[in-house]
Amino acid sequence: MQSTTRTLLAAALVLGTVVGPSALPAVASAPPPAASARPADPTVPALEDAIANLSDATAALVRVGGTEGVWRGSSGVHDLRTHRPADPGARFRAGSVTKVFTAAVALQLVAEGRLDLDRSARSYLPELIPASYKKVTVRELLNHTHGIPAPDFPGDTVEEWYANRFRTYDPEDMVRSATAKKREFAPGTKQHYLNIGYTIAGLLIERVTGDSYERQLARRVLNPLGLRDTYSPGADPHIVGRHNHGYQKMRLDDGTTGLRDVSVWRATDAWAAGDLISTTADLERFTKALFQGRVVRGPLLEEMFTLPEVPDVKSGAPAAYSTGLSMKKLGGREVWGKTGGRWGYNTAIASTRDGSRTLVYSVNSTDAKGQDSGEVAVNLMVAAYGRP
């Protein structure tokens, strides 16, 4: 790895604005959704309803596209201090949607013969991946069937994570922490969705290109598609440019429970698995290009639409994650995409395989990393595609 890749940026300790429970009603009384649509689209009323009452969020930005109709909607507020309307063109933290970009870069390198999906990760990173994980392949990293557990992080509660929000994590150290543990299962036999496979994928990209992950991402995906509002923040905890503030429900300093501004938060723990900052317009453009075969070309694109035939390690249900994407059946058809969550922000991209209906949203959820998807996010998916 090149030492200049991750020069740590000194960041001032910006204290989050504390908002007590009394601020919650202001979300419900936020400006009504601003939207435009083709009147013939029967899903418009459901989409409008989905963002009309933000019971568990402070803002929502939505773009629906494809041959079935186009719709743009936004609701909520820019922040809970001024209660200005949410900015529909704002940047936000895309979370694990980053994995789709990382998978695309990796598959481009496979097409060039610089990576091999069936080759072991250890053969590329012998000094980092121990012999106990010598059978884990590149494909297994990308489809979450590798069996490598998560690394150790300080803190178990959101309050403890918030206290460590300016801590910087090194990807090699995270890999060492994870691979020092016993494997969860034999590689290729089960699926467990974790970030660590994509942390290693980012390091593989750097090893085979001799370049930083961030520059390769920009050169191969961001710049060719003109995604000017999408970038990797590195160690900078701020969202550069226009953005709606994100809030997280947690215990406050006075012992009460309320919302704290979590917009400023270093994301190095996620890196190639979840640190991207973007906009709904950029993510819509990326989604359309990806599904049209303009990002990953030829047979390798099928890797992103192929689910491994293994069970989920926890539920025993069939695997739901492919290389970069996941699949759900909604309204009687397959919908492929990816969700992502960072504190204060939930994001998703989705599309039918033929691109007839795409959906991109950013919802400023107040429990963005909770066990369940927020009500607003679920309602948007159902409104756009139908019920499971």
Query: What mean pLDDT is predicted for residues 69-74?
Result: 96
- If one counts every other C-beta atom within 10 angstroms of the C-beta of residue 353, the result is 12
Percent of the chain at pLDDT > 70 equals 88
pLDDT for res 55: 85
pLDDT for res 7: 34
Banded pLDDT at 369 (limits 50, 70, 90)? confident
Banded pLDDT at 372 (limits 50, 70, 90)? low
What is the overall mean pLDDT for the chain?
Answer: 90
Q: Does 43 or 46 have the greater pLDDT score?
A: 46
| Domains (range + CATH), the chain | 18-385 (3.40.710.10)
pLDDT for res 10: 26
Strand, coil or helix: 63: strand
pLDDT for res 18: 33
Give tens-digit pLDDT for 218-260. 999 999 999 999 999 999 999 999 999 999 999 999 999 999 9
Bridge partners, 349 (sequence order):
338, 360
Question: For the ranges 29-38, 104-113, 200-209, which has the lowest average pLDDT?
Answer: 29-38
Q: How far apart are the first and last CA of the chain?
A: 44
- DSSP state letter for 86: P
Please say if the pLDDT value at position 283 is more than 80. yes
Using DSSP, how many helices (H) and how many strands (E) does the chain show?
Answer: 12, 12
Residue type, 294: R
Give tens-digit pLDDT for 163-219. 999 999 999 999 999 999 999 999 999 999 999 999 999 999 999 999 999 999 999
Instruction: Please check whether residue 304 is in contact with residue 322, taking contact to mean a CB–CB distance below 8 angstroms.
Output: yes
Q: Does 319 or 374 have the greater pLDDT score?
A: 319
Instruction: Please check whether residue 27 is in contact with residue 53, taking contact to mean a CB–CB distance below 8 angstroms.
Output: no
Residue with tokens 């890749």: 5
pLDDT for res 371: 62
Nearest CA-CA partner of 218 in 209, 210, 228:
228
Report CA-CA distances (Å) from 280 to 6, 35, 103, 178, 379.
Answer: 27, 14, 20, 33, 18
For 170, residues 6+ apart whose C-beta sits below 8 A from its C-beta are: 6, 268
pLDDT for res 31: 45
Please say if the pLDDT value at position 85 is more than 70. yes
- Written as six digits, the tokens of 33 are 């959704």
pLDDT for res 9: 26
pLDDT for res 34: 53
d(CA 243, CA 91): 5
Please say if the pLDDT value at position 266 is more than 90. yes
Query: What mean pLDDT is predicted for residues 131-141?
Result: 98
Query: What mean pLDDT is predicted for residues 5-34?
Result: 34
Please indicate, yes or no, whether the overall pTM of this predicted structure exceeds 0.85.
Answer: yes
The phi and psi torsions of 99 (rounded to 5 degrees) equal -60, -30
Per DSSP, the residues of 66-82 read: STT--EEEEEEBS-TTT
Query: What mean pLDDT is predicted for residues 79-97?
Result: 98
Please say if the pLDDT value at position 381 is more than 70. yes
Q: Does 155 or 334 have the greater pLDDT score?
A: 334
- DSSP state letter for 295: S
pLDDT for res 374: 84
Please say if the pLDDT value at position 6 is more than 60. no
